[in-house]
Amino acid sequence: MLRIVLVSIGALIFSSSAFADSSAIKASNNQISIQTISTNVDYTETGNGRYGGVIGKLDTESGDVPGYAVAFSVMGEDDNKYFAAEYNRESGQTTYTGMPMTGGTFGSIVSTSTAVLTNYSVRFGKGFIFDDPVGQAIVTPFFEIGSHKWDRGLGGGISAPYNESYTHDYFGIGTLGQFSPVDTKLVFSASALIGTTLRSQISIANGTNSWEGSLGNSAIEKFILSADYELLSHLHGNVSVDFTSFNYGISGAYPIPAGISWEPDSKTNYTTIKLGLGYAF
């Protein structure tokens, strides 16, 4: 899938009928912005039958969680060195669909969970300007590191308080492709990243049955489509759609007063829509 996206980015850049010079792209890459955002959570836990437990889908969390993002980026005028950083935080509710902890049928419990999502990321790269007979475009290979935290106030009929916090760091490599139609101040961007999660962990707060432990790491994929437009001198409007996908592997088994507890395998997909304003410098 990553190969298809990277090829598509290249095709967009080199097959477009017309390009502006790189000044519009450079302007979009030298700004600070604030955005209102909403992330669609698509999370699924799957049991493997450990200790006679359920095999198959155990529970899901789904729904849109609103929040905000602050982003900063800069690209050198002469050397095209690129740096970008982002922080975002979202807080809201998701829909829990599952079963009692003692087992049963998936979907027998439907309730509401609280969700707080917190993300940091830093990106380093170098842009390359490609001459076209009628204009220019910029392709920027990059290296990215970041972290993610999901505070999950679990529903599902479990006696409160029962809170889970999932965390991981990640790193990856990717490509950012950008172009601007001729005689406009509009810049289109597409990027794709593939990497790995690191230090994946879970912390469970459940009274005397609280515990924390490591989760299995996995590949992580991120794809972003965005557009930036200069509304006024230095004032930009921007919109983007971000998609992120990764897994958490099963944890170890931990003895607790109530018996034995562990975290099963899970898969997470996030789709984030962002809309904001930026100041170009």
Residue 91 near residue 67 (C-beta atoms within 8 A):
yes
β-partners of residue 230 are: 236
Higher pLDDT, 105 or 115: 115
Instruction: Report, as an integer, the average pLDDT of 120-139.
Output: 86
Whole-number pLDDT of residue 7 = 44
Dihedral sign from CA coordinates of 106, 107, 108, 112: positive
pLDDT-derived band at 9, boundaries 50, 70, 90: very low
**How big is the chain, counted in residues?**
281
Secondary structure of residue 114 in the 3-state scheme:
strand
Least confident of 74-78, 96-100, 117-121: 96-100
Higher pLDDT, 70 or 6: 70
Q: Distance of CA 257 to CAs 9, 210, 261, 263, Å?
A: 54, 9, 10, 16
Q: What is the CATH number of the domain that holds 218?
A: 2.40.128.90
**Residue 161: cis peptide before it, omega within 30 degrees of 0:** yes
Please determine, for residue 4, whether its predicted confidence score (pLDDT) is greater than 80.
no
Number of helical (H) and strand (E) elements in the chain, helices listed first:
2, 14
Other CB atoms within 10 A of residue 184 CB: 12
Q: What's the distance, CA 146 to chain centroid? A: 10
Instruction: Report, as an integer, the average pLDDT of 90-102.
Output: 90
Secondary structure of residue 53 in the 3-state scheme:
coil
Please determine, for residue 44, whether its predicted confidence score (pLDDT) is greater than 70.
yes
Tokens 């049991």, residue?
47
Secondary structure of residue 27 in the 3-state scheme:
helix
Q: What is the pTM of this model?
A: 0.89
Whole-number pLDDT of residue 133 = 58
pLDDT-derived band at 159, boundaries 50, 70, 90: very low
Whole-number pLDDT of residue 125 = 98
CA distance 221 to 195: 7
Query: Which structural domain range is residue 163 located in?
Result: 2-280
Q: How many domains does the chain have?
A: 1
Instruction: Report, as an integer, the average pLDDT of 265-274.
Output: 98
Give the phi and the psi of residue 54 in degrees, each rounded to 5: -70, 140
Least confident of 10-14, 44-48, 200-204, 238-242: 10-14
